[in-house]
């Protein structure tokens, strides 16, 4: 059985449980132990995240890390743009997840905003520059994590996974995932994490009565 890919950050480990790179990106901002945690607090963190998220190879991340040392201001700008894309992605997910009740008008508005954000993040880069780091200029290369994140978000819109993206039902999580369960809908990011905490909380509530 294939092990779950994990991003090891200065703030701790984050497992890739979303089922799609765009969902893993959205999940880099979520709640942990009652606090909101941002797992990509810098461009360097972004590069490290993109490897297990399968948006960059290890060799590409190393090359971009070297480039970023000489283009710190640009790397910082790209990091901010990724966070902007992530915010639009999470806003769209909060209105489109299957287990959330949202009005059609709100879903439509968030979808328009998401498409606009993808277009903005994609920029004017050609397909060759997005696919091949060697063919990109230094400036465009530093944008590569942003371009590929935008492509991942676009893939989620163009090829929705059975219209069954769900939000974790645990309190203070806000994680999103693709429900691939055939027997009954998956309710939590993970059974050993959010699932166990939710069951423990329910057990405590029952035994207080």
Residue 49 lies in a domain: yes
* Residue that is written with structure tokens 């743009």 in the block: 81
Per the structure, how many domains does the chain have?
Answer: 1
What tokens appear for 178 in the block? 């693709």
pLDDT tens string 151-190: 999 999 988 776 689 988 887 788 899 988 777 777 877 7
Residue 11 lies in a domain: yes
Domain encompassing residue 166 = 6-208
- Name the 3-class secondary structure at 31: strand
What tokens appear for 99 in the block? 């287990």
Residue 27 lies in a domain: yes
Residue 123 lies in a domain: yes
pTM above 0.75, yes or no: yes
Contacts of 83 (CB under 8 A, 6+ apart): 40
pLDDT tens string 26-77: 999 987 777 888 999 999 999 999 999 999 999 999 999 999 999 999 999 9
What tokens appear for 35 in the block? 């606090």
The predicted structure's pLDDT at residue 137:
85
Residue 1 lies in a domain: no
> What whole-number distance in Å separates Cα of residue 104 and Cα of residue 87?
20
Q: What is the CATH number of the domain that holds 26?
A: 1.10.3300.10
Residue 176 lies in a domain: yes
What tokens appear for 30 in the block? 């979520």
């Amino acid at each position: 059985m294939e092990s779950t890919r994990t991003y090891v950050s200065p703030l701790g480990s984050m497992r890739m449980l979303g089922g799609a790179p765009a969902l893993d990106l959205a999940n880099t901002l979520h709640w942990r132990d009652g606090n909101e945690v941002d797992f990509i607090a810098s461009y360097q963190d972004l590069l490290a995240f993109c490897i297990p998220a399968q948006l960059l190879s290890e060799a590409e991340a190393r090359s971009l890390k070297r480039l970023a040392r000489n283009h710190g201001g640009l790397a910082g700008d790209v990091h901010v743009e990724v966070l902007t894309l992530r915010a639009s992605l999470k806003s769209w997910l909060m209105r489109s997840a299957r287990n959330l009740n949202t009005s059609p008008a709100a879903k439509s508005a968030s979808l328009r905003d998401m498409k606009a954000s993808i277009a903005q993040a994609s920029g004017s880069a050609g397909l060759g520059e997005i696919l091949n780091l060697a063919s990109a200029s230094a400036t465009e290369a530093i944008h590569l994590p942003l371009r590929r994140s935008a492509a991942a978000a676009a893939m989620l819109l163009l090829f929705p996974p059975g219209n069954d993206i769900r939000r974790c039902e645990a309190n203070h999580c806000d994680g999103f995932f693709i429900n691939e369960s055939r027997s009954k809908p998956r309710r939590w990011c993970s059974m050993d994490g959010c699932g166990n905490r939710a069951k423990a909380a329910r057990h405590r509530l029952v035994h207080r009565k």
